[in-house]
Amino acid sequence: MTMMRRIVVLVLTVLALSARAGVSKLEAIGMIESGNNDRAIGKAGEVSRYQIMPRVWRNYSASRAYHNVGVSRRIAEKHLENLEQTFRERTGREATDFDRYVLWNAGPSYYGRIGFSAARVHPVIRERAQRFVNLRQMKPLAVSNGMLAVGALP
């Protein structure tokens, strides 16, 4: 999927979710990873809107219904819970949204090798992690004088 198409899908999804502040962890992951494309297949073979490697998927389910929203969501929830638990055990603290996305995208082994340091995260992953944080902190849309406004929480 081209970057422009991802941006358009992201904006449309944000508009659709504008009735509440921020988006859920999994909504934000799906938006960033695939533009919520349930049939997405990544360059390294990642599947579903959440772009999960099939070997990771198999840790949670024998199903190969990668395009099924309900199945992929349950697997993504379990995987994210495991990543967060691993992070807590290794660092003694709760993961921030930034940490959460780095764990999702690069894994706990990578993050551990760089000392769980946000400053040492690869720039591409750091930029995506910041987008994840922004999505999670978005204010609801407001219309003023016919203009649409979206903002991040301070």
Tens-place pLDDT, residues 104-145: 999 999 999 999 999 999 999 999 999 999 999 986 555 455
Task: Determine, yes or no, domain membership for 30.
Answer: yes
- Rounded to two decimals, what is the model's pTM? 0.77
Does the pLDDT of residue 17 top 60, yes or no? no
Q: Mean pLDDT over all residues of the chain?
A: 87
Instruction: Determine which helix (DSSP H) or strand (DSSP E) holds 6, and give its type and residue range.
Output: helix 3-16
Number of domains the chain contains: 1
Task: Please give the average per-residue pLDDT across 3-16, as a whole number.
Answer: 63
Task: Determine, yes or no, domain membership for 154.
Answer: no
Whole-number pLDDT of residue 22: 84
Whole-number pLDDT of residue 91: 98
**Residue 75: domain span:** 3-149
Does the pLDDT of residue 152 top 50, yes or no? no
| SS3 of residue 28 by DSSP | helix
Tokens of 75: 């697997």
Task: Determine, yes or no, domain membership for 13.
Answer: yes
CATH of the domain at 45: 1.10.530.10
The C-alpha atoms of residue 50 and residue 31 are separated, in whole angstroms, by: 8
Name which of 15-19, 21-25, 102-106 the model is least confident about: 15-19
Residue 126 near residue 6 (C-beta atoms within 8 A): no
Cα 39 off chain centre by: 16
**Residue 48 has what DSSP assignment?**
T
How many other β-carbons are positioned within 10 Å of the β-carbon of residue 40?
Answer: 19
| SS3 of residue 148 by DSSP | strand
Task: Please give the average per-residue pLDDT across 32-40, as a whole number.
Answer: 96
The C-alpha atoms of residue 85 and residue 118 are separated, in whole angstroms, by: 18
Task: Determine, yes or no, domain membership for 29.
Answer: yes
Task: Determine, yes or no, domain membership for 116.
Answer: yes
Name which of 24-33, 50-59, 114-123, 142-151 the model is least confident about: 142-151
